[in-house]
Structure 1
Amino acid sequence: MTQNSPIQLSLPVHLPDDETFNSYYPAAGNDELIQTLQISAAGKGAHTIYLWGPVKSGRTHLLHAACAYANDQDRRSFYLPMGIHASISPALLEGLEQLDLICIDDVDAIAGHPLWEEALFDLYNRVTEHGRCSLVVSAAKPISDIGILLPDLLSRMQWGVNYQLQPMADDEKLAALQRRSAMRGLHLPDDVGRFLLNRMARDLRTLFDVLDKLDKASMIHQRKLTIPFVKETLRL
């Protein structure tokens, strides 16, 4: 939702300012997916999109980016991570089809929960009937493998456009880290970036969190990013 939305404010969800399409470095093979998300966020193209890829593969960044893209065009968006489903009610999905863009993350978290599956099935139907809203759903696996028990929901999810998020090569992860650094006004030399790739978990979420820590330490100590400074800061 937009910032003033009562529904968005009632959820423990924050959309990061730095997770946009501009800050996303696409791996080879993901260009069509990103273009499709942008078109849908703008109110054109596919009404339902299913996106899957491993945990920490960048799915959440793309959903945040789609919401930011819609909001920049004065369109109403709503982001819901299903990992928090135990603390909210399926009734939250009622009426969302009146918005312009709905992004539901980690939908596999509600697989096997009848009330949530029914609520999501009803939302798919209302989105299709309403005709103006776009629904983007993400999970860690293909639709057939996430454990959805309601056959009608499986059928609805398979109607739309389906994309697998392609993984990044190490050179692409280095480029993504350097783009993220540059947006913060921080220079990340190639040797330091490769050091992080070799010594840290290689998923982008972990790498970005490490970069945030290094950025803060660099500002506090007024030091450039070097391998000795990184070792000292991260206690490696």
Structure 2
Amino acid sequence: MTQQLLLDILPGTLPSLDGFVAGPNQAALDAVRGLAPGHALYLWGGVGSGRSHLLRACVQAQGGHYLDARTPAHWLQGLATDEDRSLNLVAVDDVNDLNEAAQAALFALFNRWRATASTADAFALLTAGDRAPLTMPLREDLRTRLGWDLVFRIEQLSDEDRAQALRDRAQQRGLALPDDVLHWILIHHDRDMERLSSLIDRLDQYSLARHRPVTLPLLKELLADTH
């Protein structure tokens, strides 16, 4: 079996709530887990904080719609205005980057959420951005709506939390992760836990494909091959 074929058939890992390393963000994780129709939740934090992971994982767990700033605005507008379409969860990520049309659509979606919140047509609304609601570079009425219900800041994980999360990820895959490899990853790789977890998965796959144990030279070889 060739290396490429092995890498192609190994399963990917979808974002999950169980796979989110909470660290100081346990209250936010609990809020996402408990998000029910008729309630809204806004998460904010910097790049790599894990807010996008939480939105995708919530949609994965509950079903629903995930959109972000790259999604055409008319898709979001359709969710806001098509009353014949039943909704259970809508997650809108990177709201700080929404263009004017998408901001108008999200404003309309908030209005639909509020109007149906206490009815049989209620749905959950989960949004996320890179800063607190009232400091967002958005239209004023939309900034206000982002804070209508629960708001949580997603804090960056400590190095200790990240190290333990990577050890746990490796253990789940049956991968022996030497201390020097873990130390190098924490120093030289970015802090995004989703990317770090993906790196552990890729390292495991690469080790299997090459029939070699995980070592620092193997990690550097993997990174060189993927750049």
Which bin holds the TM-score, normalised by the shorter protein?
0.7 to 0.9
What root-mean-square deviation, in Å, do the aligned CA atoms of Structure 1 and Structure 2 show?
A: 2.4
Q: How does 1:33-52 map to 2 (within 5 A)?
A: 33-40=28-35, 43=36, 47-52=39-44
Q: How does 1:175-190 map to 2 (within 5 A)?
A: 175-190=164-179
Would you say the 8 A contact 1:103–1:136 is kept in 2? yes
For residue 17 of structure 1, report the CA deviation from its aligned partner: 4.6
For residue 67 of structure 1, report the CA deviation from its aligned partner: 1.3
- Partner of 1:63 in structure 2? 55
For residue 171 of structure 1, report the CA deviation from its aligned partner: 1.1
- Partner of 1:144 in structure 2? 134
Question: Secondary structure in 1 aligned to 2:176?
Answer: coil
- Residue of structure 2 aligned with 1:234, choices 204, 217, 223: 223
- Partner of 1:134 in structure 2? 124
Would you say the 8 A contact 2:166–2:196 is kept in 1? yes
For residue 19 of structure 1, report the CA deviation from its aligned partner: 1.0
Equivalent AA in structure 1 for residue 46 of structure 2: P
Equivalent AA in structure 2 for residue 38 of structure 1: R
For residue 235 of structure 1, report the CA deviation from its aligned partner: 4.2
Residue 108 in structure 1 maps to residue 102 in structure 2: no
Sort the Cα spacing of 1:83 and 1:183 in 2 relative to 1 into closer, same or farther, 3 A.
farther
Sort the Cα spacing of 1:184 and 1:81 in 2 relative to 1 into closer, same or farther, 3 A.
farther
Which blocks of at least 5 consecutive residues in structure 1 are unaligned?
A: 1-15, 72-76
Residue 216 in structure 1 maps to residue 202 in structure 2: no
For 1:98 and 1:130, how far apart are their aligned partners in 2? 11
How many residue pairs match? The answer is: 208
Sort the Cα spacing of 1:230 and 1:115 in 2 relative to 1 into closer, same or farther, 3 A.
closer
For 1:69 and 1:34, how far apart are their aligned partners in 2? 13
Would you say the 8 A contact 2:77–2:109 is kept in 1? no
Question: Secondary structure in 2 aligned to 1:82?
Answer: coil
For residue 122 of structure 1, report the CA deviation from its aligned partner: 1.1
Higher relative contact order, chain-length normalized (CA < 8 Å, sep 6+): 2
Residue 81 in structure 1 maps to residue 68 in structure 2: yes
Q: Which runs of 4+ in 1 moved over 4 A?
A: none
- Residue of structure 2 aligned with 1:20, choices 16, 21, 28: 16
- Residue of structure 1 aligned with 2:148, choices 156, 159, 172: 159
Deviations 1:135-181 (A, max 9, x none): 010011111222112x2222222211111001101111112222222
For residue 89 of structure 1, report the CA deviation from its aligned partner: 4.8
For 2:214 and 2:154, how far apart are their aligned partners in 1? 31
Would you say the 8 A contact 2:39–2:124 is kept in 1? yes
Equivalent AA in structure 2 for residue 101 of structure 1: L
